[in-house]
Amino acid sequence: MAEKKKEILYTGSDTEGGITSGYNMNDGVKLKVPYSFFGSIYDEEEEKAVLKAMKQESQTMGPQVALFQQEFAKKFEVKHAFATTNCTTAMHVATQAFGIKEGDEVIVTPNTFIATSLVILKEGAKPVYADINPKTFNIDPSQIEDKITDRTKAIYVVHYGGQMCDMDPIMEIAKRHNLYVMEDCAHAHGAKYKGRQAGSIADIGCFSFHSLKNITTLGEGGMITTNNDEFADRIGRIRCMSLTHWPPEQKVFEFAGFRMEKTDVKDYWIPSHFDVIDDNGKWGNNYRMNETQAAVGRAQLKKLDMLISKRRENAHYLTNNLQSIKGITPVYEDPNCFHSYHLYTLCIEAEELGASRDDFMRVLYREEGIQGIQHYQPSYHFTGFKKLYNYPDRLCPNAEKFFYGRETNLPMHPRLTKEELDMIVTGIKNAAGKVRS
């Protein structure tokens, strides 16, 4: 009898992306409430969607993708939506659609995942960092204008944690200086600013469907939104290898001495199935979403309001029970915004608490079994960035103090139970008391 093959199960600590691939540290700490790597809810609707898509003949850029784009555009109140492989590729397409090139500058927040800056670097431009508001953790509009030079071409904002940036002054600055604006909406499914949907205000919006996000398409996926027809035309090509149609009115084609005449619409093969053009020197890539992911995205989109409602309920429960703890600052909600709570960011005020953020975290994690995660180290502190542009120290003091001294993100997803929420609250109260004494 053949020996049964042993199944190998990978844990978060030894997967390719390290802590960006899972949060199981495998360090012996007994957790009461771990930080989950799955931010949504799947049930039989997603299962049915997967099986249905698998039975289609078309497995990419077919009916599921088309319907997902239409439904997403309607939900987020925009003219156009384009599904992509992930948010990073969505932002790369946006950067190319803007025509960002070598020598240009793009103003961006330092408080974001590396992808927001990486797409700027990929086109040879320089990320220029503007500091954050210490209450909302979003880019501070008052810090933007001084960063503008004659090389500035765009402003990239990130709706951190699910609370949108103060968009009106940002759009006014952009208009005054003739700059493009991109919304990085990776955290912002379901978020609103003055009643307007995330991804509907700037020139282009980019969403993520990574497994951590408020809705997900089998672990990866993205969406580009725009109300600009010209950008939509470019985006459609750039995310699909610069493909375009031959002019429908053209009937005669000549190549290398070969003459082809299209006598009827049934001559579908003449002159070939597609043309390829550049967009002001920008060339596309294969950034297309597949049909199974899109089918799951459609099922998830129907649940979005319910998922956000659960997140908000969980977040408000935490806020109500944590706001009286000295040295602990719960999430601030901007009255102009509808917060969708991709993250619940707790701030530790060392001076009031009488202990550092790291001392607090050690007790919260090791003794109380509550796992927090830090987002995000200022991008300009990464080795490659310092090597490339030699960014100075204390470039964005609020962002630096936020990451290195104040914040941690508590477990936040729609599957949290009241028991788990109570364990989080008790753990924080206990940790604050222990480090204070």
Domain contains 7:
no
Would you say residue 7 has pLDDT above 70? no
- Is pLDDT above 90 for 2? no
Residues 256 and 289 in one domain: no
Helix, strand, coil percentages for the chain (3-state, nearest 5): 40, 15, 45
What pLDDT is stored for residue 81 in this prediction? 98
Residue pLDDT, tens place only, 312-330: 999 999 999 999 999 999 9
Segment 157-161 shows an average pLDDT of 98
Residues 182 and 221 in one domain: yes
Token readout for 143 is 């810090």
Q: Confidence band (pLDDT; 50, 70, 90) for 3?
A: very low
pLDDT at 97 exceeding the cut of 50 = yes
Query: Do 174 and 266 lie in a common domain?
Result: no
Instruction: Report the distance separating Cα 145 and Cα 322, nearest Å.
Output: 36
**Cβ neighbours of residue 5 under 8 Å, at least 6 residues apart?**
none
Q: pLDDT tens digit string along 294-310?
A: 999 999 999 999 999 99
Assign 350 to helix, strand or coil.
helix
- Asked if residue 329 belongs to a domain, the reply is yes
Binned at pLDDT 50, 70 and 90, residue 393 comes out as confident
Residue 2 domain-assigned?
no
- My answer on whether 403 and 311 are in the same domain is yes
Q: Is the pLDDT of residue 26 over 80?
A: yes
Distance CA 198, CA 187 (A): 10
Asked whether the predicted pLDDT for residue 4 surpasses 60, the reply is: no
Q: Answer for the pair 279, 243: CB distance below 8 angstroms, yes or no.
A: no
> Does the residue 3 lie in any domain?
no
Residue 34 sits in a domain whose CATH number is: 3.90.1150.10
- Amino acid identity of residue 200, one-letter, is S
Q: How far apart are CA 114 and CA 96, in angstroms?
A: 18
Domain assignment of residue 332, given as a range: 12-40+303-436
**Looking at the domain assignment, is residue 1 inside a domain?**
no
36 with 374: CB under 8 angstroms? Answer: no
Q: What are the backbone angles phi and psi of residue 110, rounded to the nearest 5°?
A: -80, -15
pLDDT category of residue 17 using cuts at 50, 70 and 90: confident
If asked whether residues 186 and 79 sit together in one domain, one would say yes
CATH code at position 162: 3.40.640.10
Q: 353 and 409: one domain?
A: yes
- Give pLDDT tens digits for 41-66: 999 999 999 999 999 999 998 999 99
Q: Are residues 334 and 389 in the same domain?
A: yes
d(Cα 178, Cα 170) in Å, to the nearest integer? Answer: 12
Please determine, for residue 208, whether its predicted confidence score (pLDDT) is greater than 50: yes
| Backbone CA torsion sign across 357, 358, 361, 367 | negative
How sure is the predictor about 16, in pLDDT bands with cuts at 50, 70 and 90? confident
Which residue's entry shows tokens 């729609």?
414
Dist. CA 169–CA 180, nearest whole Å: 14
Comparing 3-17, 134-148, 178-192, the range with the smallest average pLDDT is: 3-17
Q: Is the pLDDT of residue 9 over 60?
A: no
5 domain residue, yes or no: no
pTM, two decimals, is: 0.95
Mean pLDDT across the stretch 335-359? 98
Q: Is residue 6 part of a domain?
A: no
Confidence category of residue 6, pLDDT binned at 50, 70, 90: very low
**Mean of the per-residue pLDDT values of the chain:** 95
* 227 and 327 part of one domain: no
In a domain, 426, yes or no: yes
Kindly provide the residue ranges of all beta strands, DSSP E only, lying in 175-290, ordered along the sequence: 180-184, 192-193, 196-197, 204-208, 222-226, 243-244, 252-255, 258-261, 275-276
Return the number of other C-beta atoms located less than 10 Å from residue 26's C-beta. 10
Structural domains in the chain (count): 3
Q: Do 162 and 54 share a structural domain?
A: yes
CB 212 within 8 A of CB 38: yes
**Residue 189 shares a structural domain with residue 319:** no
Average pLDDT for residues 60-78, to the nearest whole number?
97
Same domain? For 264 and 357 the reply is no
Give the pairing of strands 105-108 and 152-158: parallel
Same domain, yes or no: 141 and 210: yes
pLDDT given at position 116:
98
pLDDT of residue 14: 53
What is the percentage of the chain residues whose pLDDT exceeds 90? 93
Average pLDDT over residues 373-401: 96
